[in-house]
A and B are shown apart, each in its own frame.
Chain A
Amino acid sequence: GAVVSQHPSWVICKSGTSVKIECRSLDFQATTMFWYRQFPKQSLMLMATSNEGSKATYEQGVEKDKFLINHASLTLSTLTVTSAHPEDSSFYICSADRVGGYEQYFGPGTRLTVT
Chain B
Amino acid sequence: DQQVKQNSPSLSVQEGRISILNCDYTNSMFDYFLWYKKYPAEGPTFLISISSIKDKNEDGRFTVFLNKSAKHLSLHIVPSQPGDSAVYFCAASRLDQGAQKLVFGQGTRLTINP
Quick one: which of B32, B42, B101, B106 contacts A46, CB cutoff 8 A?
A: B101
Chain B residues near A43: list those with CB within 8 A. Answer: 89, 104-107
Chain B nearest Cβ from A58, distance in angstroms = 11
Q: What is the bound-complex CA distance between A102 and B107, given in angstroms?
A: 20
**Contact flags A36-61 to B (C-beta < 8 A → 1, else 0):** 00000011111001010000010000
Q: Is B29 an interface residue (CB 8 A)?
A: no
Query: How many pairs, one residue from A and one from B, have CB atoms within 8 Å of each other in the complex?
Result: 58
Chain A interfacial residues counted at CB < 8 A? 26
The residue that B49 contacts in the complex, of A6, A32, A95, A103, with Cβ under 8 A, is A103
Asked whether B45 lies within 8 Å of A106 as measured between CB atoms, the reply is: yes
- CB neighbours (8 Å) of B45 from chain A are 106
Q: Mark B38-52, 1 if CB is under 8 A from A, else 0.
A: 000111111001000
Interface of B is mostly: strand
Per the 8 Å Cβ criterion, residues 59-114 of B in contact with A are: 89, 93, 97-107
Indicate if B34 sits at the interface (CB-CB under 8 A): yes
Complexed CA–CA distance, A111 and B102 (Å): 21
Q: Are B34 and A102 in contact (CB under 8 A)?
A: yes
Are A97 and B89 interface neighbours, CB within 8 A?
Answer: no
Q: Would you call B100 and A102 a contact (CB within 8 A)?
A: yes
CB of A104 within 8 Å of the partner chain:
yes
- Whether A106 and B106, one on each chain, are in contact in the complex, defined by CB atoms closer than 8 angstroms, is no
Contacts of B104 in A (CB 8 A): 43-45
Chain B residues with CB under 8 A of A104: 34, 46, 100, 102
- A8 to B: closest C-beta gap in Å: 13
When A44-B104, A97-B100 are in contact, do A108 and B42 touch as well, CB less than 8 Å?
yes
Q: Which of A46, A49, A51, A109 contacts B43 (CB 8 A)?
A: A109
List residues 37-87 of chain A with CB under 8 A from any CB of chain B: 42-46, 49, 51, 57
Residue positions of A touching B, CB distance < 8 A: 2, 4, 6, 32, 34, 42-46, 49, 51, 57, 91, 93, 95, 97, 102-109, 111
In the A-B complex, the 10 residue pairs with the smallest Cβ-Cβ separation, listed nearest first, are A106-B43, A102-B32, A43-B104, A44-B104, A49-B99, A43-B106, A106-B44, A108-B43, A109-B43, A32-B99
